[in-house]
Amino acid sequence: MSRSVVALIFLHALVAPAGAQDARVPVLKLATPVSPPNWALLQREVLRTSSEACRAFYDKYFDERGWLLCVERWGGDDGPDDAIENCNDWPLLHALGGSDEVRKLYLKAWEGHLRQYTLAKTKDVPFARDGMYYKEFPVMFDWLHHAEGLTVFQMQGLSHPRDDKFVARARRFAGFYLNEDAGAPNYDPKHKIIKSLFNGSRGPLLRKATALDWAGDPIEIKNRFVLGHGETSYDEMLAHFKDYTDIVGDHPQNLSATALALTAFAATGETKYKDWALEYAGAWRQRTLDNGGVIPTNVGLDGKIGSATVGKWYGGTYGWGFSVEVPQTKQLAHRNTHYLGLTGFGVAYLFTGDDRWIDPWRKMIDHINGQAKKGPTGAPTYPHMHGDKGWYDFKEAKYAHGAEEIWYWSMADADRARLPNGGWLAYLEGKNPNYPEQCFRADLDAIRKRAAGMRADKTTPDTRLADDPMRFNPAMVANLVRLATGGLHHGNRTLVMHSRVRYFDPAARRPGLPPDVAALVEGMTADATVLNLVNVSPLHARRVVVQAGAYGEHRFTTATADGTNVAVNGARLEVVLEPGAGARLVLGTKRYANPPSLALPW
């Protein structure tokens, strides 16, 4: 037996709760000493400094109630979703191994946020006059903004799932789309549609939207606020949204609601949530097939493609043909958000591992790029929009929405071929071994710059909009997600976590890497995961539970370290790292073998 693999035993006391896949967790003991690599030391420093900077950020921008110190507004320019976005990635930072204080702070901010925006009311926007939130959820808005405002809640499940309020909210929020709340009839089970682009806890908006609905109440701008979209007056805010009127009927954005069903299922194990998510995603899959392989951006209340937009499958706000004038510049902006629908197909794939959920999207990518034409320089150009005259907005960059996700889910060479060489994918293929160190150094530099910007920020609560502090948010997790978990990070719309592995600290009984432990996913194939684990402490042994998938949706078949192969046959493996020890593990992996669960390993 290798010197690093000292023992393999079974922990009989570590019994998983209901819904988990393992009754007993194998334990692998590693003792081979290694010199701590730079990437490991830098990874630990990113976790430490991000956590410390979150404390400073919270102290500057939140009060003792957890309320954001800003001017509260409704709208697409600045609204409730932007307020809680200031804590985006804090749950993930904690779930990766950030400090417990980060969890304490984001939970306080989330509770304060719900109260703050339940009490915040509009004067002119009709549906928010009794509160911007109702039943702790936005009254009605589009899922581009819902997704931004729900990321903290959705990722709480990976950080702090054993919270009665979290589970109750998971049920309630998903219930708004399962028609379990009579005051929120968002879903039509006959036609399998969400009835409007505007939906929420008070149901769907079944009329044309106005610029006021989108922009919110009148507000003073000049010499007071700097708006993120560049408007310099309230009139320009209204002008920005003047064409955002066609919202009746379903839109692919609404597939993001399946993320709520996934969370409710993972928290409770109740199959109704899975059944609804697959039903709704299945309806959109069929619409894509029925529409010549391109996902439509309007389905009318009668269930017919394009029937709410004069028969145009590409019509509607945020549709394939949604190009609008920017009021300040008079230039045309293309705002097609069909790609947000990929969330729903990803949820269905996470539930099933069935290629039928992603095959239509990969074929759509190829179909759109098949419409290429020669550009001004002679090089091929590819369309990204579709209107009355056919495909338009041709660019030299290929249409690629969803290409990385489809490769990640399928692990197929043909899907990899759609993606460029370089970056993270090149690293996974054995190129640029310095890539992790470069990424973590960049993260530390970004934290420094954001902390400096926060200190230099001269805004006051009455000159600060909810999205102003966002640029200083110091939670740097994207590289941690990719490199430590082999996962995908979708920025401010990370409603579902897709990862190859995840970690727990059995000594502290919390999610995340234990103190001193660093992890690096060095390679992934369809049936194997290469994981480098290092204990940077020369003094203390550390234990870490490695889970197959963010929700335990995968299964480890075997674990190989230093030539010794042991059977795992479960979703979790505990690794004991002696002081200063490290090893490269090859984990045989059967992907999408288990139902997703938020159960903890104890």
Give residue-wise pLDDT tens across range 343-376.
999 999 999 999 999 999 999 999 999 999 999 9
Integer Cα distance of 387 and 476 in angstroms: 39
Positive or negative CA dihedral for 69, 71, 73, 79? negative
Domain boundaries, the chain: 1-31+517-602
- The third-level CATH classification (topology) of the domain covering 1-31+517-602 is Immunoglobulin-like (2.60.40)
pLDDT band at 513 (very low <50, low <70, confident <90, very high): very high
Measured in Å, how far apart are the chain's first and last C-alpha atoms? 30
Q: Is the pLDDT of residue 18 over 70?
A: no
pLDDT band at 333 (very low <50, low <70, confident <90, very high): very high
Q: What pLDDT score does 49 carry? A: 98
Query: Which segments of 421-577 are extended strands (E)?
Result: 501-505, 510-511, 517-525, 528-535, 542-548, 555-561, 564-570, 572-577
Output the average pLDDT for the chain: 95
Integer Cα distance of 459 and 13 in angstroms: 54
What's the whole-number mean pLDDT along residues 429-439?
Answer: 97
pTM (2 d.p.): 0.96
Per residue in 297-311, pLDDT (tens digit) is: 999 999 999 999 999
Q: What pLDDT score does 78 carry? A: 93
pLDDT band at 23 (very low <50, low <70, confident <90, very high): low
Integer Cα distance of 533 and 530 in angstroms: 10
